[in-house]
Amino acid sequence: MTIGATLEFHGAAGEVTGSCTLLRTKKARILVDFGMFQGTPADEARNAVAPEIDFRSLDAVIVTHAHIDHCGRLAMLPELGFRGRIYCTTATHELLGRVLRSSARLQRARFYERADGSAPWARALMPGEEAGGPPEFPPAHRLFDTPEVRDTMDMIEGVPLDREVKIAPLVSLVFRNAGHIPGAASAELTVGAGADKKIVLFSGDLGPERSALLAPPHRPARADVVVVESTNGERRRDANLDPETTLAAIVADAARRKAKVIVPCFALGRAQLLVYRLARLHARGLMHGLNVYVDSPMAVHGIESLYRHPEYLAPELTAAVRSGGAPLWFPELHYVLSKRESMAIDRMVHGGIILAGSGFMDAGPVLRHLSESIDREDCVIVLSGYQPEGGFAWRIQRGADRAQFSGKTLPVRASSVRVEGLSGHADQDDLVKWFAGFGEKPGRVVINHGVDTARAALAARLKTELGIESTLPARAVPVEI
Ligand SMILES: [Zn+2]
């Protein structure tokens, strides 16, 4: 059975970044997500090449959430000739302006720093490895700047969860909670009219079934076509893992030694989860007075978003916020909102925890905090989640003994610890359960947003356990649905 439409994946087909999917129906053309490619310099260079899509003829663009790999290229749309509306949830709308403006600032800074040779850089060195000069920087691309961000924001329409909105001829949209980060949603599209109506569901990034902080993903009743992510499609979480136990040990040790704990983390998702876990440690009397500094205005914005939109929180926390509670607050929590404050906490001597980006330790204030303290034994680096192979964090995790920061070489005396169980993505079991929860088996499943082994592992399990056949699309090759 087909519904007479096609899908084209212009990114995130067999990889985990650059989400960009074109849906063509008989009457409309809709783009779902327009994200950046992230990872190696070669991946980043791909961002400057617009996909072969006639942007002028698009009826609408949908954004599932405010992570850069789903929304990072939106501000290229005015330049590419798109003049329609961009739809996202109300909460995502509030986050997007800041995400896109900071992306524009970063591009501008990189552009000039690379041109005049002052680009900051950091490298971790394995034992025996020679220190070297700055890496070869590929030319920086300026994909957009602040004026384009402003034009893009003018096109955005925020829609609350579970409210139907007509977005194109014979196409309506409902956002469903995806449980991934504040504001993240699946996009449920109803295509056609009368008895011919079909549902095409784009999962976006799905959160885990059981998150300490966020609501579980919405359980759809039915869909004719499901486009699903598979970032963790080959992973299965250890149910006995409790990140709070590891964090409690790190906090106790840091308080005893008056150590500085540096936690590289991403601003949306991971940062809120960590703050909530630390708030719980406070409630259990396990913070030992240790101060926590959130050195990321974006992460603070993400925390505030959850207070404004408590529907994204786990049910018991939604109730707490609605009755005036603040589950992501504790007396030791401090927001760092300026570079001056950020530099001041480098000089702190009494111990404390600094949450700062980026999570991959490849840019951002975390590099400055590390360059101040990585050569101290009373410094602890807390790693979590996936780290790109060969990168700074990856090497630290594998015993790098020196680190270079724009020419300054320091011995690594800081210790590093991993905290598991903080993923914002559904694992394989969660994804299978999500499909098992459909009232009716979906007519068609298309797996994108995942490396090929992850897509294949998920497809195999869906087939054996639920009898669902999946399609694994290649990039830019149309899939008839
Ligand atoms: Zn995401």
Task: Write out pLDDT tens, residues 434-477.
Answer: 999 999 999 999 999 999 999 999 999 999 999 999 999 999 99
The CATH number assigned to the domain holding 193 equals: 3.60.15.10
411 found inside a domain? yes
Q: Specify if 296 maps to a domain.
A: yes
Segment 266-269 long-range contacts (CB within 8 Å, at least 24 positions apart): 266/357, 266/358, 266/359, 267/296, 267/298, 267/299, 267/301, 267/302, 267/357, 268/66, 268/67, 268/95, 268/99, 268/181, 268/182, 268/298, 268/299, 268/302, 269/67, 269/180, 269/181, 269/182, 269/302, 269/424
Count structural domains, the chain. 2
Q: Are residues 230 and 249 in the same domain?
A: no
- Note the residue count of the chain: 481
Among residues 383, 400, 418, the one where a domain terminates is 418
Judge if 66 and 195 occupy the same domain. yes
Give the chain's radius of gyration (CA, Å): 22
**Residues spanned by the domain of 362:** 243-418
For residue 411, how far is its CA from the centre of ligand 1 (angstroms)? 35
For residue 290, the number of C-alpha atoms closer than 13 Å in the C-beta half-sphere is 29
Q: What is the pLDDT of residues 289-307, one digit of tens each?
A: 999 999 999 999 999 999 9
Give the pTM: 0.95
3-state DSSP call for residue 415?
Answer: strand
CATH at 288: 3.40.50.10890
Question: Which residues are found with C-beta within 5 Å of the ion, ligand 1?
Answer: 67, 205
Asked if residues 363 and 121 have their Cβ atoms less than 8 Å apart, the reply is: no
Q: Is residue 126 part of a domain?
A: no
Beta-carbon contacts of 354 under 8 Å, excluding residues fewer than 6 positions away, are 260, 261, 262, 263, 293, 295, 345, 366, 369
Residue 428 contacts residue 234 (beta carbons within 8 Å): yes
Distances (CA, A) of 327 to 42, 276, 288, 301: 41, 7, 19, 15
Distance between Cα 118 and ligand 1 center (Å): 31
Residuewise pLDDT in 10s, the chain (481 residues): 688 899 999 999 989 899 999 999 999 999 999 999 988 888 888 999 999 999 999 999 999 999 999 999 999 999 999 999 999 999 999 999 999 999 999 899 888 988 888 888 999 999 999 999 888 888 888 999 999 999 999 999 999 999 999 999 999 999 999 999 999 999 999 999 888 899 999 999 999 999 999 999 999 999 999 999 999 999 998 878 899 999 999 999 999 999 999 999 999 999 999 999 999 999 999 999 999 999 999 999 999 999 999 999 999 999 999 999 999 999 999 999 999 999 999 887 678 999 999 888 888 899 999 999 999 999 999 999 888 888 899 999 999 999 999 989 999 999 999 999 999 999 999 999 999 999 999 999 999 999 999 999 999 999 999 999 999 999 999 999 9
Strands 292-295, 333-335: pairing kind:
parallel
Q: Are residues 272 and 406 in the same domain?
A: yes
Q: Separation of 74 CA from ligand 1 center, angstroms?
A: 15
Alpha carbon of 196 to ligand 1 centroid (Å): 33
Q: Residue 21: inside a domain, yes or no? A: yes
